[in-house]
A = this chain, B = another copy of it.
Amino acid sequence: MSTTVRDEVTAKGRRGQAAAARLSVLGREQKDRILLTMAEAMEASGERILEANARDVATAEERGTTATPIDRLLLDEARIADMAEGLRTVAHLPDPVGEIIGGWRLPNGLEISQVRVPLGVVGIIYESRPNVTVDAAGLCLKAGNATLLRGGSDAIHSNVALVGILNEAGSAEGLPAGAIEIIETTDRAAAAELMRCTEYVDVLIPRGGGGLIKRVKEESRVPVIETGEGNCHVYVDATADLDQAEAIVVNAKCQRPSVCNAAETLLVHREVAASFLPRAGARLREMGVELRGCEETLRYVPEAKPASEDDWLTEFLSLILAVKVVADVGEAIAHVNRYGTKHSEAILTEDLASARRFTREVDAAAVYVNASTRFTDGGQFGMGAEIGISTQKLHARGPMGLRELTSYKYVIAGQGQTRA
C-alpha cells in the first residue's frame, strides 16, 4: 500500500478529528447559518460544478460507459438546485445534539443525564452519484460530525468541486477546517486505508450497490453501518381486502422498482390464490412486470415463468416479481425470515391475530400492516432527511436521520460523592 495514500487518509482523518471536537460544541444557529450559506453557494457556483462534472462525464464516455451510470453521474441546474434545497431542509430540522434522552437521580444524590452528542468523524464510501457528497456532508454537519468522504473515481472532479464550494462557503461562517474532507486518491487502496483508519474514523457508512457494501463489511476495521439491500416481501393473507391488496402490490413493485424498499416477492395465502392471483397477475403484467412463480402460482398465472430457488433470494431492483403460494401466515413468516434482508416487509390482512403474529415474528427494520413497503424512507417517516436505511441491528435500524448520526454521553452531577 503506497505511503502517499496512507498519508493522505491519515492526515485528513486527523484534521477531521480535530474539526469534530470543535463541531461538537457548535450551536444550532451557527450550524444552520453555515448550511444556508452553503446552499446559496451551491446555486451561485453552477458553472464551476457543471464544468467539473463535464470532465467526469467526458471521461466516462471515453471509457464507453453506458447510459444509466452516466445519468447517475450527470449534474444539471435542476440537480444542483435539489442539492441546495437538501441543505436548506437540513438547516430547518431540529438539532439532535444536546437533546436530553433521559435522566434520573440515584439514591446517593448523583444526578445522571443522558445527553445526545455527535459520533465524531463519519466516513462515507459511495459510488457515482455526486449528490451524496452534499447530502452526507450536510446531515453529518447538522449532527455535529466531521465527514470524511471517499466517492467513486468516476465522479472525482465533481466531488472535489462540491467539497471545495461547501468548505469555502462554510469557513466564512466559522466552519472549522477539516470538517468536510474528501479523499482525492482514486484507486482502491484509498478505500482500504479509510477502512482501517480506526484511530480517526468513528463509523463508516457505505452507500451504493451490494458489491460495495459486501466489501466494506468484510474489510473494514472501522465500525460499519450496513445499508441498503432490500429483498422485501408483500404477503396477502386469507382475509385481505383484495382490491386494496392489488393496489399495494402494484405500488410496492412498480412505483419505483430500482430502490431498496420496492417489493421483490409476493406471497399469497392458498385460500385466496384462485381469486387474487389471476387479477393481480394480469394487472402486474399490464404494468410490464415479469412474474416468476412457484408451481401453484403457475396454475393461476400460466404466463408466469417458473421460479428458481435463486429468485427467492434476489433483490431484482427491476420489473421482476417472484410469486409464491403459502399455506398460512406461519409459512409466510418463515419464508420472509429465511430469504429476506431484514429491510421492509408487509402483511395485508383484516385479521388481528395474523397482523399481530406477523409484526411480532418477522425480523425486519420495518414491518407493515396494510401499507406499501415503499414508505421505508427518512423523508416519508417524517425524519426530514436520511443518510441511508440500516439493515443491521446494532446502533440504528431502518431510516437513519439526524438522531441516528449521534451517540450519547452520561453527565453526572455530584456533591462530593465517593463509592463505599
By a beta-carbon cutoff of 8 Å, the part of chain A in contact with chain B is: 21, 24-25, 104, 106, 110, 112, 117, 119-120, 198, 202-203, 217-218, 221, 223-225, 241, 244, 247-248, 250-252, 255, 337, 359-361, 363-372, 374-376, 380-382, 392-395, 397-398, 407-419
Contact across chains for A419 and B372 when beta carbons are under 8 A apart: yes
Residue among A247, A359, A412, A415 having the largest count of chain B Cβ atoms under 10 Å: A412
List of B residues within 8 angstroms of A198 by Cβ:
217
Contact across chains for B414 and A371 when beta carbons are under 8 A apart: yes
List of B residues within 8 angstroms of A395 by Cβ:
394-395
Min C-beta distance of A110 to chain B, whole Å:
6
Give the residue name and chain of the B residue nearest to A22 (CB).
B361
Residue from B255, B370, B382, B393 within 8 A of A419 (CB atoms): B255
| Cα–Cα distance between A250 and B407 once the two chains are bound (Å) | 31
List of B residues within 8 angstroms of A106 by Cβ:
380-382
8 new A-B pairs (CB below 8 Å) besides A247-B418, A367-B412? Answer: A198-B217, A217-B221, A244-B416, A248-B418, A251-B418, A359-B411, A370-B415, A394-B407
Residue among A364, A382, A393, A408 having the largest count of chain B Cβ atoms under 10 Å: A393
Contact across chains for A223 and B223 when beta carbons are under 8 A apart: yes
Contact across chains for A412 and B119 when beta carbons are under 8 A apart: no
Contact across chains for A21 and B337 when beta carbons are under 8 A apart: yes
Contact across chains for A409 and B221 when beta carbons are under 8 A apart: no
Give the residue name and chain of the B residue nearest to A334 (CB).
B21
List of B residues within 8 angstroms of A419 by Cβ:
251, 255, 372, 374-375, 380
Give the residue name and chain of the B residue nearest to A410 (CB).
B366
Min C-beta distance of A352 to chain B, whole Å:
11
List of B residues within 8 angstroms of A408 by Cβ:
397
Q: List 19 A-B contacts (CB under 8 A).
A: A25-B361, A106-B382, A110-B375, A202-B393, A223-B223, A223-B394, A241-B416, A252-B418, A367-B412, A371-B414, A371-B416, A372-B417, A372-B419, A375-B417, A376-B410, A380-B419, A393-B407, A397-B408, A398-B410
List of B residues within 8 angstroms of A414 by Cβ:
368-372
| Cα–Cα distance between A247 and B255 once the two chains are bound (Å) | 67
Give the residue name and chain of the B residue nearest to A225 (CB).
B394
User: Quick one: given A337-B21, A394-B395, are A416 and B366 in contact (CB under 8 Å)?
Assistant: no
Contact across chains for A397 and B409 when beta carbons are under 8 A apart: yes
Give the residue name and chain of the B residue nearest to A417 (CB).
B371
| Cα–Cα distance between A106 and B248 once the two chains are bound (Å) | 18
List of B residues within 8 angstroms of A368 by Cβ:
412, 414
Give the residue name and chain of the B residue nearest to A369 (CB).
B413
List of B residues within 8 angstroms of A394 by Cβ:
119, 202-203, 223, 225, 394-395, 407
Residue from B24, B241, B392, B412 within 8 A of A363 (CB atoms): B24
User: Quick one: given A375-B110, A382-B104, A393-B119, are A247 and B416 in contact (CB under 8 Å)?
Assistant: yes
Residue among A110, A374, A392 having the largest count of chain B Cβ atoms under 10 Å: A110
Contact across chains for A110 and B409 when beta carbons are under 8 A apart: no
| Cα–Cα distance between A361 and B409 once the two chains are bound (Å) | 11
Residue among A25, A251, A366, A417 having the largest count of chain B Cβ atoms under 10 Å: A417
| Cα–Cα distance between A416 and B392 once the two chains are bound (Å) | 28
| Cα–Cα distance between A232 and B96 once the two chains are bound (Å) | 27
| Minimum-distance CB pairs A-B, first 10 | A371-B414, A251-B418, A393-B407, A374-B419, A244-B416, A395-B395, A371-B417, A370-B414, A366-B410, A394-B395
Contact across chains for B409 and A364 when beta carbons are under 8 A apart: yes
| Cα–Cα distance between A107 and B28 once the two chains are bound (Å) | 27
Min C-beta distance of A351 to chain B, whole Å:
14
Give the residue name and chain of the B residue nearest to A377 (CB).
B419
List of B residues within 8 angstroms of A223 by Cβ:
223-224, 392, 394
| Cα–Cα distance between A21 and B338 once the two chains are bound (Å) | 11
Give the residue name and chain of the B residue nearest to A390 (CB).
B407
| Cα–Cα distance between A202 and B369 once the two chains are bound (Å) | 26
